[in-house]
Amino acid sequence: MNRVFNFSAGPSALPLSVLEKAASELVCYKDSGMSVMEMSHRSPVYEEIIKEAEVLFRSIMNIPDNYKVLFLQGGASTQFAAVPLNLMNGSGKADYIVSGQFSKKAFQEAKKYGDVVCIASSEDKNNTYIPQIKREDIRPDADYVHICFNNTIYGTKFNYIPDTGDIPLVADMSSCIMSEPVDVTKFGMIYAGAQKNMAPAGLTVVIIREDLMGKSRPETPVMLDYKTMADNDSMYNTPPCYPIYIAKLVYEWVRDLGGLEAMKKHNEKKAAVLYDYLDAQDYYIAPVEKPYRSMMNVTFVTGDADLDKKFAKEADALGFKNIKGHRSVGGMRASIYNAMPIEGVEALVKFMDEFAKNNPKK
Ligand SMILES: *Cc1c(COP(=O)(O)O)cnc(C)c1O
């Protein structure tokens, strides 16, 4: 077996032990005589899987009883529409912070449904920081405020939770969910595509405060209505059965490693290896302002597009995969989600240093 260090931003690396466990159960799950992929989602054996997944996720994330957990399909991008359809139900106003491409997409999608305003943006500096917002910046009658907590493409993360008072705060946490503890009670709703830090693509997890459900706009497709999904325990229709099963294995892995406090320590250590190196040399440039550096997506450039290209190519040949930056920003991006071992980051830094020595800038 020749596993590489996979720095993909998503879908991304899964813990090896999870893949091995899934492989061992692939053809025949326990004594069911069939694969999880082949089961009726309404069978007792599958019901146990999805129930256990929720119990574990609630415990890991410390989710209070007045929040529902939903296992949905459609990716985080479907939530860009589901959020306004479900929550823009009072004044018909919503306030968005645009700190990257995904929050911009969310903002543009929401605009179709009401009076939606971007109250702060970091586009003036190519999204290399997170705008600070205060209570006064938020319209007092907004139905909700939307943020993207970790900006996967640019490598920035909110270093604070905006104070929105009684207005529900909605956060896209696709690329930072389960990377460290988060106070769920500060949010009305959290959503995340699973393929960054939880499971294979195909599953989207929503955490939503109960009182925010049941007031969706009349045109809301039934598949996007949180109340329908909650009332049916995420089984209004066939859920993404297999990704939920893998998510359960990942939750067990996180639990066994000590939960989110332990994850945070592990991730801080990994990110520090990269950022400490970046700060100690002047060959590479880390464009993100320090207070807003992401622990999950570390971006850097050489300042020379040709060298960046050469870097990505040589890195790939050595088994550092998917290190090229997002096609819209260029440069490099090392996505170091929970499943990335510290050895991967250490080996990458060693390569970065060698590359810098072997490729002096003109
Ligand atoms: C990847 C990502 C998305 C898009 O997720 P899909 O599941 O592909 O729709 C949205 N937001 C963030 C923060 C992401 O990292």
> What is the torsion angle, in degrees rounded to the nearest 10, for the CA atoms of residue 90, residue 106, residue 171 and residue 212?
30
- Of 207, 229, 256, which residue is a domain's last? 256
Whether residues 91 and 216 share a domain: the answer is yes
The secondary element (H helix, E strand) that includes residue 189 is: strand 189-193
Q: Which residue's CA is the nearest one to ligand 1's atom 5?
A: 76
| Residues in the chain, total | 362
Strand partners, 172: 148, 191
Cα-to-centroid distance, 151 and ligand 1 (Å):
9
pLDDT for the residue numbered 30? 97
pLDDT for the residue numbered 327? 85
Strand partners, 15: none
**CA-CA distance, 356 to 362, in Å (whole number)?**
12
Whether residues 222 and 301 share a domain: the answer is no
pLDDT for the residue numbered 112? 97
* Ligand 1 pocket mutation, candidates 8, 72, 77, 337, criterion most atoms within 8 A of CB: 77
30: left (phi over 0), alpha (psi -120 to 50) or beta: left
- Of 256, 283, 306, which residue is a domain's last? 256
pLDDT for the residue numbered 328? 83
pLDDT for the residue numbered 94? 98
Domains: count for the chain: 2
Which structural domain range is residue 68 located in? 30-256
pLDDT for the residue numbered 58? 98
- Of 233, 256, 279, which residue is a domain's last? 256
Q: Which residue's CA is the nearest one to ligand 1's atom 12?
A: 174
Backbone angles phi, psi at 151, to 5 degrees: -95, 100
Closest CA to 200 of 152, 234, 242, 238: 242
Measured CA to CA in angstroms, residue 122 lies from 96, 115, 151, 156, 197 at distances of: 12, 21, 11, 11, 25
In a domain, 21, yes or no: no
pTM for this predicted structure: 0.98
pLDDT for the residue numbered 329? 87
Closest CA to 254 of 61, 49, 9, 71: 61
Residues near ligand 1 (Cβ within 6 A): 10, 75-77, 102, 148, 152, 172, 174-175, 193, 196
**In the chain, which stretches have pLDDT less than 50?**
none
What b/e readout covers 215-249, taking b as 16+ CB neighbours within 10 angstroms?
ebeeebeeebbbbbbbeebbbeeebbbbbbbbbbb
